[in-house]
Structure 1
Amino acid sequence: MKINWGTAIVLVFIGFISFIMYFVVKMNTNDKYQHDLVTEEYYKEELAFQKEIDAEKNAKALKNNIRVEKTSDGLVITFPEDKNYEDITGTISLYRPSNKKLDFEIPIKLSNSKVTISNNNLIEGRWNITINWTYLDTLYLFKESFTY
């Protein structure tokens, strides 16, 4: 059987499309390749976005904002020292973009103006930290990305 150019081009296209479809099906059906949304309740969080914008403006208006530093003990988060640490409440959320199983949240309970997160809780790589905190009924939000 003799194959002409037209038949060869059609066979190459069919082979290429089959190759691509194989990988599309494999990526969608195999649990090893997870492709989740960034957060589980994305649309619910989107509705609260204006509050988040206002809280970030409040934090940027502070004379001294939160500082995050890596030390030998772990990650040290220093709250503004001009605020009474006993009146500060909120949560510290650490988010790992590459693996949602490593994400965790810590409630803020201060005995001084610093919080230390031990090295045991953090694995090397990129992290996003979000600190939602309240001082005298004013919401503040601090966001930062860092590599540990």
Structure 2
Amino acid sequence: MTTQSKSFTLWPYAIIAAIVLFMGYIIFFVVQAMNQDVDLVSKDYYEQEIAFQDHIDMVGRTKAVGDVAINYKPENHAILLQLPESFAGQHISGRVNLFRPSDDRLDQEVPLQLGRDLSQLVETEKLEKGLWKVRVNFSAGEETYYTEETIQLK
């Protein structure tokens, strides 16, 4: 009578464990991807796209009368808006939109309140550091105007 000795091997268990660990790894990343917050640039993106030609006309009108200067003053923690002298003596109304591309919850809007020299300071002390877009929409008489500048708050 011959007896064969059966040897115990771990290879099948190691292969099964490797497959289970790999599947767990993939499931972890799928769950992470599903929980990632993905926002459009703005909530009403599609409505804004339809009105894009009006926007192009407003930008063209603004460039025709002279550029609106938007300068960030880090030492004063303020943004200086300066309208061209061609708007002197006109009733101007509008708004300044501070747009944060990375987080729409940080967006702010302030009314356009120009001084006699057609300028306005917008405080930035309470704004988070980083990239911001300053959008100025205003009207003078019957015409509407728009300008935008990207700034880096420090």
TM-score normalised by the shorter chain: which range applies? 0.7 to 0.9
**Residue 85 and residue 132 in structure 1: after superposition, are their counterparts in 2 closer, same or farther (change >3 A)?**
farther
Fraction of identical pairs, as percent: 26
Structure 1 stretches of 4+ with a deviation exceeding 4 A read 1-4, 10-18
Match of 2:146 in 1: 141
Once the two structures are TM-superposed, the CA of residue 20 in structure 1 deviates from its matched residue by 3.4
- Alignment counterpart, residue 95 of structure 1, candidates 99, 102, 112: 99
Once the two structures are TM-superposed, the CA of residue 115 in structure 1 deviates from its matched residue by 0.9
- If you compute each CA radius of gyration, which structure gives the higher value, 1 or 2? 2
Once the two structures are TM-superposed, the CA of residue 67 in structure 1 deviates from its matched residue by 0.5
Is the CA contact (8 Å cut-off) linking 2:99 and 2:108 kept in structure 1?
Answer: yes
Q: SS in structure 2 opposite 1:109?
A: coil
What TM-score does the superposition give when structure 2 sets the normalisation length?
0.76
Once the two structures are TM-superposed, the CA of residue 51 in structure 1 deviates from its matched residue by 0.7
The Cα RMSD (Å) is 2.5
Match of 2:60 in 1: 57
Match of 1:47 in 2: 50
**Residue 146 and residue 16 in structure 1: after superposition, are their counterparts in 2 closer, same or farther (change >3 A)?**
farther
Aligned letter for 2:92? I
Is the CA contact (8 Å cut-off) linking 2:72 and 2:151 kept in structure 1?
Answer: no
**Residue 92 and residue 13 in structure 1: after superposition, are their counterparts in 2 closer, same or farther (change >3 A)?**
farther
Q: SS in structure 2 opposite 1:37?
A: coil
Give the distance between the partners of 2:89 and 2:98, measured in 1 at CA: 21
Is the CA contact (8 Å cut-off) linking 2:90 and 2:141 kept in structure 1?
Answer: no
Q: Which runs of 5+ in 1 are unaligned?
A: none
Once the two structures are TM-superposed, the CA of residue 53 in structure 1 deviates from its matched residue by 0.9
Q: SS in structure 2 opposite 1:34?
A: coil
**Residue 108 and residue 23 in structure 1: after superposition, are their counterparts in 2 closer, same or farther (change >3 A)?**
same
Is the CA contact (8 Å cut-off) linking 1:91 and 1:107 kept in structure 2?
Answer: yes
Q: Which runs of 5+ in 2 are unaligned?
A: 1-8
